[in-house]
Amino acid sequence: MNALAATTRNFRRASRLLGLDSKLELSLLMPLREIKVECTIPKDDGSLATFVGFRVQHDNSRGPMKGGIRYHPEVVTEEVTALAQLMTWKTGVAAIPYGGAKGGIGCSPDELSNTEKERLTRVFTQKIHDLIGTHTDIPAPDMGTNAQTMAWMLDEYSKFHGHSPAVVTGKPIDLGGSLGRDAATGRGVMFATKALLAEYEKSISGSTFGFGNVGSWAAQLIHEKGGKIIALGDVTGSIRNKAGIDIPALMKHKNEGGALKDFHGAEVMDSAELLVHECDVLVPCALGGVLNKDNAPDVKAKFIIEAANHPTDPEADEILGKKGVIVLPDIYANSGGVIVSYFEWVQNIQGFMWDEEKVNKELEKYMSSAFQHIKAQCKIHNCSLRMGAFTLGVNRVARATLLRGWEA
């Protein structure tokens, strides 16, 4: 099941649990605006290249819309729409005053020079500048983009609207970016894991972990908290060590250009076995749809923390539920990034920057509060954590929509 179908299915299940009427349900599901623009740039060799850019603005009932910009050859309207909708519910779960949006350009960033990426970013910003803004829609980095991309967007937007640092988040620190933003998603995953394990009288220290992406900040932070990471992988392969992998040594190896398979502190394993490896906690951190009906029956982890977007297909969700595996859903588990993006936006509007200790302390407060509210929804509706999160997010958006009188 693709991301849009899965997200819509989860929304409809939450809607039924909440007893929403069909008119309101349709209003909540329908995107506010879908934008598709042509972006033609001169390449370094003098030829012209044309790309298609997208921005889906899903909902603004609770505040300006928020979401990433991704550069990837498979960026299509359907995927962008699913991720925009997911961001609406995610910001509702996190209790930050945003709605959801998502955007991107269908391109292969690895095949573009730095100057070509800059030209493309500036043209895209020129095409959508009147539809984004500090109190309208606030882009952020995503797959294939980074802080430099946001710096170019900010500069181009400011040519039309004056200096507006709050128009994008995930910026370089020198342009108003927030301390702690780089590690925010991973730190949020760590706080979410801590909250979930505490519910079952367990802790990160003493638990074993399997990670779906070696580059994850979460792996480093969980290692620092005493978690034993016994298996992990990335696009180049997977490794394992039942005694625990030395994460700092591995990151040093990777940063020096070493391949995962050449790391001496672990043995190479079949990547297909990574998701079904024996461990207490499985953390898929990269691709969507990696847990499916074929491999779900063989999952041995007791807990799954969805650090990636949509890593678990609905069919796999049902299988895991019957097996008694506890799944912490993506719309809560990986919300640390958007929460700290909110902190960055607040700092930019106030013109007063926070130190990193304050950023991390506030992030833990938001993650802890959201988990308690999810548990309360689970108790009310006698449902899974995924449905607890969806009912929490959808209900907050529905209430805002009704209070504003938009359902009519």
Check whether 61 is labelled as a binding-site residue: no
* Nearest partner of 303 among 179, 381, 195, 160, judged by Cα: 195
Q: Active site residue: 36, 43, 102, 202, which one?
A: 102
Check whether 88 is labelled as a binding-site residue: no
* Nearest partner of 345 among 130, 178, 154, 103, judged by Cα: 178
Q: Which is it for the CA torsion 347, 348, 349, 351, positive or negative?
A: positive
Check whether 208 is labelled as a binding-site residue: no
User: What backbone torsions phi and psi does residue 217 show, to the nearest 5 degrees?
Assistant: -60, -30
Measure the CA–CA gap between 136 and 117, rounded to whole angstroms.
25
Contact partners, residue 9, CB within 8 Å, separation at least 6: 1, 314
* Nearest partner of 177 among 337, 314, 405, 374, judged by Cα: 337
Sheet holding 303-305, edge to edge: 267-269, 237-240, 228-234, 208-211, 281-283, 303-305, 326-328
User: What backbone torsions phi and psi does residue 363 show, to the nearest 5 degrees?
Assistant: -60, -45
Judge whether 102 counts as a catalytic residue: yes
Quick one: 26 exposed, middle or buried, by C-beta within 10 A (0-12, 13-18, 19+)?
A: exposed
Check whether 341 is labelled as a binding-site residue: yes
Measure the CA–CA gap between 352 and 278, rounded to whole angstroms.
47
Which alpha helices (H) appear in 99-235, and where do they start and end?
114-128, 147-161, 184-199, 217-224
Measure the CA–CA gap between 310 and 329, rounded to whole angstroms.
8
* Nearest partner of 328 among 182, 235, 229, 191, judged by Cα: 191
Check whether 66 is labelled as a binding-site residue: yes
**Binding residue positions for NAD(+):** 185, 213
Report, as residue numbers or ranges, the catalytic residues.
102
**Binding residue positions for substrate:** 66, 90, 341
